[in-house]
Structure 1
């Protein structure tokens, strides 16, 4: 391999994508020579146009493996290619300066610059994200987004052994701490040399904007607190969400709930997620409006959505926040045993809210999704959590992204659904003895009975994808605290009356 040629290709790519400028080239060359353990370099005239950098990095990683600079594992490759890209990256202060300059044009221009830079630097691993299997399923609640997540590589046993030998430190405290910016990482903690953060002032406190390295939707961003403090839904949460959409009116912003089971995967660090995407939930209509005493100036409605959601909107941020706080406080202490809702048991709180904020024309809009994390012997993972009959498709927590109508499904389904399609085509009657597909056996019987005689190789994939989407709808229904039957709607009305 001509590693000198690959270095020149990488420099050409970095210049094209404006990751570096002409006066940075010699500096970047010397960093690359050090990282790749090379003593000589000859400049070449490279004119190729590449959409993304992964083909070049692939060659460089093969070179590093061949020269025994790194071991040939997924984790070692990820650590090393991030180190390579840091050699052709703007420093944080320069990124911030350019972001602010673009912001004077428009918020859209600023986020477009920042997102494109995050893709070009391979911080957002677009080549992997593009492998995700994505489709939409039409339902009575709109088109739900379904994603089989293939972005994250499987762990290599050698990396697992290496991780055991690594002495983890308290720095950074978690993957969301601002101290990750530039952190080299180790097996078990991803490299972040190419991470760049944009400081934000939300209600006189410092927060930071970054993008998710594994984006699940367009411009999937994370907004993280400067301080490593636990997530807590409160008045400050609503104030911060509304302050964010003031800064970026083309983005939505939301928070995972602050309790286990119904919350996100990282509850130890206060953070939000947003982006430039319109989910089915945002398009869902209001099916009944209300007038709340003392807040007659605020539009209030029950959203036609499988999870129990109250939508409030106003041009007055302060008033909107006051009503959101009232709803949160009422819900925190609300119980209705007729529908299995208890606010607390043995001193443990169960009720909280998943909030999502956005701008709709000239008004602020907040969706307040009511959550409860109580468990029972019948539902040990949660009463309002995916029940066992849907675990063959989705077993994990229903966090902010799922709440809004985007299913993030496990990679195993890529193989399992293909095998299931083949079984349907062959008209296999029972899958209970199939080691891989046994988990789907009960669901398969329903599909077999429903579609027997109407399946062929031309329609089978669309049919199975549609049925997976319907399972996700069932998942959301399980997570809804007030079911959408007569009893559940009546109980929802009873709660709203307490406001």
Structure 2
């Protein structure tokens, strides 16, 4: 009993320190937590030296021991999110506080909302801290590499339960507004402590939230209030530019709207943004050009593995219309020599990945050209990671990877350790799909090298190859010639 009370007291202390509640709220919060833990008595206790995540983990364990919840990770996540919901105001109050802060500055508003999302454990910072992150030099500049360990894998019992669990109809998907405050199930994650901010952009209603598993600083998601599929239109470019007009300290971008080159959720219109300097944002310029229809927009071709035209202009409408002009031209563009076909019968293959910024003087739009055509030689996509790099990255190359941040699977951590032992002659055990790469690495490795740095550089080089495979115009003499041929049509 005393341990439960001590944990409750500690969680209340932390929530006061994080400015979620005040001392006026102590008795209410204590009683609600006692009820959740099925306790009717309270004994004051000495304070514990635990952080937010340790405290919540301990309360989840107690709830499982008392059979209040199942002894599984998903059940504990649901329970601890329900606990943190006790401390949070209802959405309308949070929204009011957000807009009061916005009157002072857009950054103050997002700082308030971001800090609240962390303090309430909606953003799972303790798990995000497990990710392995480093930079790798390349001919395009430093590239960001992340081995993603933050999303826990489901245990075998949960997987077995999933097979018999009925399909979810509500919420319709992970991005729907109905997730706000949703308790969670075996199939849908805990969202009791989830809050959103309503925004009107480009005469449409949107909701702003943060990603619970941040891939970069202040990783936010702007999603349509309606559950409607991703579709790239002229309105998309206005949406992105209006967002950075409203939040000039953030960038925002959109995944492409077709399979293979699109994101993982194409069923719900959404964009991703945040406060982070991606490698693409520091890319050099190969050459500049102008489009006669848009004299006030400067165009640059970036020194970047994916074929990227970057637009600069002081007027939002100019940049949006120029983006749409390039997009429309690209949709119908074919170049058989470069293996680019705009359509196969009635199936479209060309689209773009747009990324918007506001540098304080001009609006900036990076237009990344994409094509999802497949062949018998490349069944997963011609402009997709090819077979020899799929042991590192096989999934879609979406917005985040396009900008130069690798999100590599957690399995790689253990597999890299096996490769390290193989290079050092301590083991012959390497996964078959890594064996060719490991043999190549062994040929160039000497014991005088710092092996961790050697493998980090090798991983970075592989990811650069992934990005180069996804580029429709390669940055060699032939590719640049074909890229210029497309630009000449503009």
Q: CA deviation at 1:104?
A: 1.6
Asked whether the 8 Å contact 1:146–1:406 carries over to 2, the reply is yes
Q: Does 1:76 align with 2:75?
A: yes
Q: Does 1:495 align with 2:489?
A: no
Please show how residues 292-441 of structure 1 align to structure 2 within 5 Å.
292-426=291-425, 434=429, 436-441=430-435
Q: Does 1:465 align with 2:456?
A: yes
Asked whether the 8 Å contact 1:13–1:49 carries over to 2, the reply is no
Asked whether the 8 Å contact 1:219–1:277 carries over to 2, the reply is yes
Please show how residues 144-293 of structure 1 align to structure 2 within 5 Å.
144-293=143-292
Asked whether the 8 Å contact 2:168–2:187 carries over to 1, the reply is no
Match of 1:477 in 2: 468
| CA distance in 2: counterparts of 1:289 and 1:481, whole angstroms | 19
Cα distance change on mapping 1:423 and 1:271 into 2, 3 Å? same
Secondary structure in structure 2 of the residue aligned to 1:26: helix
Q: CA deviation at 1:313?
A: 0.7
| CA distance in 1: counterparts of 2:286 and 2:278, whole angstroms | 18
Deviation per CA, 1:27-83: give whole Å up to 9, x if none: 32232122211112245574x776x51110111111111111122211111111111
| CA distance in 1: counterparts of 2:75 and 2:155, whole angstroms | 10
| CA distance in 2: counterparts of 1:165 and 1:395, whole angstroms | 29
| CA distance in 2: counterparts of 1:10 and 1:356, whole angstroms | 40
| CA distance in 1: counterparts of 2:224 and 2:205, whole angstroms | 7
| CA distance in 2: counterparts of 1:197 and 1:44, whole angstroms | 36
| CA distance in 2: counterparts of 1:17 and 1:454, whole angstroms | 48
| CA distance in 1: counterparts of 2:60 and 2:169, whole angstroms | 30
| CA distance in 1: counterparts of 2:162 and 2:390, whole angstroms | 30
| CA distance in 2: counterparts of 1:96 and 1:272, whole angstroms | 20
Q: CA deviation at 1:388?
A: 0.7
| CA distance in 2: counterparts of 1:45 and 1:236, whole angstroms | 58
- Aligned Cα RMSD in Å? 1.5
Deviation per CA, 1:295-348: give whole Å up to 9, x if none: 122100101100000000100111111111110100011100101100110211
Asked whether the 8 Å contact 1:287–1:302 carries over to 2, the reply is yes
Asked whether the 8 Å contact 2:60–2:80 carries over to 1, the reply is yes
Match of 2:61 in 1: 62
| CA distance in 2: counterparts of 1:267 and 1:415, whole angstroms | 31
| CA distance in 2: counterparts of 1:134 and 1:198, whole angstroms | 30
Match of 2:96 in 1: 97
| CA distance in 1: counterparts of 2:73 and 2:110, whole angstroms | 30
Which of 289-298 and 20-29 deviates more? Answer: 20-29
Q: Which of 449, 456, 479 does residue 443 from structure 2 map onto?
A: 449
Which of 144-153 and 22-31 deviates more? Answer: 22-31
> Which structure 2 segments of 5+ residues have no match?
none
| CA distance in 2: counterparts of 1:293 and 1:58, whole angstroms | 61
TM-score (structure 2 length as normaliser): 0.97
Secondary structure in structure 2 of the residue aligned to 1:296: coil
Asked whether the 8 Å contact 2:424–2:447 carries over to 1, the reply is no
Match of 2:20 in 1: 19
| CA distance in 2: counterparts of 1:9 and 1:382, whole angstroms | 53
Secondary structure in structure 2 of the residue aligned to 1:310: strand
| CA distance in 1: counterparts of 2:223 and 2:30, whole angstroms | 34
| CA distance in 2: counterparts of 1:486 and 1:221, whole angstroms | 39
Which of 413-422 and 400-409 deviates more? Answer: 413-422
